[in-house]
Amino acid sequence: MLSLQKILLLHVLACLGRLAHGSDIIHGTKAPENSMHYMASVQNNMGQHVCGGFLITEDFVVSAAHCNDSTPTHVVLGNHNLKNSNHQKIKIKNKNIRKNYQNIGQGNDIMLLELLYKVQLNERVQTIQLPPAEIHLEENQVCQVAGWGKTETDVKSVDELRVVDVSVINLRVCEELWHGLPANVICAGGYKTTKGFCQGDSGGPLLCDGLAVGVVSFNYKENCSYPNKPNVYTDISKYRQWIDGIVKSRKYEE
């Protein structure tokens, strides 16, 4: 098992002031306005961005289980720039966390947020598809990670959504580099590069072939530009049944 001290909790509030000299989402660019309309900013009751997330149905957002530590209460949809106010801000009705989630070092770092009511889907708010229960990612396949997390050490989370390309890393190589990893993870980015995620990006998606295949979970120590250990994501395909079960039971209630 990984010791927690070695792991960076990527939600913003718990980590302020203890950050490393990272420089880039690390080395990314602004997400184009006409893209990524499934991105959600998960916020606390003070309206602060604490984590990323992504809309998978009109009333469910996927995020990371460790984001619950920042007591999220709302999600904001339909805005790349969090300073703009023409978004849909919706209260979280239920936080579904895997029963066996304990901390990020032990995996299952996934949370399914049920919204109080259905969002209005439009050209600015859309859902993203999840992978099937079986997927095969190629080593070195280029994917993307997006978020409002820090772009540099000692900088606040950003207002404008950013995105960066990251390459999938062989899981066995990743396990060796980390000296062991929890089950059901994907490694991409951060290794041999300084491209990857940082504080505030937690809960956001790893996007491959137009599917949200991973959830931003953790990286090494408190260093967003540390190039020796890959960034680690929760492998959504392994939770497909769990997600479908919750979404379905919600639908039957209506």
Token readout for 247 is: 């979404």
Contact assessment for residue 13 and residue 51, using Cβ atoms and an 8 Å cutoff: no
Of the residues 11, 66, 80, 87, which is catalytic? 66
Nearer to ligand NAG, 2 or 110 (CB): 110
The number of beta carbons lying within 10 Å of the beta carbon of residue 74 is 18
Active site residue 202: yes
Q: For residue 246, which of 115, 106, 77, 127 has the smallest C-alpha distance?
A: 115
List CB contacts of 69: < 8 A, sequence separation 6 or more: 9, 11, 14
φ and ψ at 51, to 5 degrees? -155, 165
Nearer to ligand NAG, 148 or 220 (CB): 220
| Contact status: 20 vs ligand NAG (CB under 6 A) | yes
| Contact status: 216 vs ligand NAG (CB under 6 A) | no
**Alpha helices, H only, the chain:** 171-178, 240-253
Active site residue 66: yes
Q: Considering only residues 41, 63, 68, 144, which one is a binding residue for ligand NAG as defined by CB under 6 A?
A: 68
81-100 residues in contact with ligand NAG (CB under 6 A) are 97
Sign of CA dihedral 144, 145, 147, 149: negative
For 78-139, strand residue ranges (E) read 88-97, 111-115
Of the residues 63, 70, 167, 202, which is catalytic? 202
Nearer to ligand NAG, 2 or 97 (CB): 97
Tell me the closest approach of the beta carbon of residue 21 to ligand NAG, in angstroms.
5
Q: CB under 6 A: which stretch of 27-35, 44-52, 201-209, 222-230 binds ligand NAG?
A: 222-230
Q: Considering only residues 223, 231, 234, 237, which one is a binding residue for ligand NAG as defined by CB under 6 A?
A: 223
Of the residues 109, 157, 167, 235, which is catalytic? 109
Which residues contact ligand NAG (rule: CB under 6 A)?
20-21, 68, 71, 97, 223, 225-227
Catalytic center residues? 66, 109, 202
